[in-house]
Chains A and B, each alone.
Chain A
Amino acid sequence: MSPYFESYLTVGAFAGLGAVLVLGMLGIAAVLRPTNPTSAKKMTYECGVDPVGSGWSQTYVRYYVFGLLFVIFEVEAVFIFPWAIILERLGVFGLVEMMIFIFILVLGLVYAIRKGVLEWE
C-alpha cells in the first residue's frame, strides 16, 4: 500500500470506529434489554400525548429559503479555503476580489432580511 492511501487509513479507521460504536451500543442494548412490546410502547413518543398524523408531515415553503441561504454561504466558505491558502501571494488584489465576492453575497442576505423572510412568526 502506498503512503498516500496509508495516510487516508486514519479516515477509514475513524469511519469504521464510528460504525462499530453505534452498532455495538445498539447491539448490546438489544441483547441485554427485556423485550415485552405492547401497542402503547410501539407508539412514537410525543410528550406523553398521542401522536397526530403521520411522521412524514409537510413543511413550510419558508424553510426552503433557509436551506438555500445555507447552501449559498456554504459555497462561499468553500471558496474561502483555497483563497486563504494563497492570500499572501495574491496580496491586495486577492483581498479586494474576495471583498467584492462577499459583498455581493451579503447583499443577497440583506435583501432576505429586508423582505422579512428571516422573521419568525
Chain B
Amino acid sequence: MVEGILFVLMAVTALAGAVTVVVARNPVYSAMGLLGTLFSVAVLYVAQLAHFVAAVQVIVYAGAVMTLFLFVIMFIGVDTSDDRDERLPMQRFWVGILAGVIVLLAAGITLSGNFDWVPAAVETIPEATNGTIQAIAEPLFTDWVLAFEATALLLTISAAGAIALAHFKGQRT
C-alpha cells in the first residue's frame, strides 16, 4: 500500500523532472529538473530495499555530477541558450511524433506478452539491515576486482584527458 502510493508519487515527480529537462528554456532550470528526477529515482531505490544504491544516487549523481553539470552550464554561459535555430523544417513536430511512437511501442511491449519475467511481489518485506551494502561489497571486491581497478583507471583517464584538453596555460607538451 505504502509502496504503491510512493511509487506513483515518485514516478510522477521523476517524469515531471524529466519533462522539465527537455522543455525548460534556461539550462539551469533543466539541471534542476534533472535533480528532481534523480531524487525521485533515489526514493524508488529505497522502496526497492536498495539503500546503498539510493545513497550513491544522492551522493554521486545529485551531489557531484549535478555540480559538474552546473559548472559546465555556467562555463558555456546561459545567455547563449537563445541560439535555437532549427536546421530541419518542423523538427519539433517530427520529434514529437517520434517520441509518441516510441512511448506507444514501449507501452505495447510492456502490456503485450506475459508478465512471467516480473518477479512476484514478496509477501514479507525483510527488515532494513546493512545487508544490501554487504551484498554489493562481497562480489565487488572479489569476483569483480578487475572491474573495480579498471574503474580507478577510467576516473584517472577522465581527469588527465580533461586537463590535457581544457588546460591551455604554458602549453607544456
Contact = CB atoms under 8 A, between A and B. Distances in A.
Interface size class of A (residues with CB under 8 A): 35 or more
Q: Taking chain A's interface residues, is the majority helix, strand, or loop, or is none over half, making it mixed?
A: helix
B60 A74 contact: yes
Nearest to A56: B78
Contacts of A77: 59
Contacts of A62: 166-167
B9 to A, nearest CB: 12
B72 interface: yes
A18 interface: no
A71 B149 CA distance: 17
Interface string A45-69: 0000000001011111111111111
Given A70-B68, A104-B152, A115-B172, A58 B2 contact: no
A5 interface: yes
A7 interface: yes
Interface string A63-97: 11111111110111111011101100010001001
Q: Taking chain B's interface residues, is the majority helix, strand, or loop, or is none over half, making it mixed?
A: helix
Contact of A71 (B68, B141, B152): B68
B96 interface: no
Given A63-B71, A85-B134, A116 B159 contact: no
A120 interface: no
Interface in B60-87: 60, 63-65, 67-68, 71-72, 74-79
Interface in A1-48: 1-5, 7-8
A77 B40 CA distance: 23
B160 A108 contact: yes
Interface in B104-149: 125-128, 130, 133-134, 136-138, 140-142, 145, 148-149
Contacts of B133: 81-82, 85
A85 B142 CA distance: 14
A105 B160 CA distance: 10
A3 to B, nearest CB: 6
Contact of A105 (B1, B56, B63, B155): B155
Given A4-B126, A74-B60, A86-B134, 13 more contacts: A1-B2, A4-B125, A5-B3, A56-B77, A65-B162, A65-B163, A78-B56, A78-B59, A81-B133, A82-B137, A85-B137, A105-B152, A108-B160
Interface of A: 1-5, 7-8, 54, 56-72, 74-79, 81-83, 85-86, 90, 94, 97, 100-102, 104-105, 107-109, 111-112, 115-117
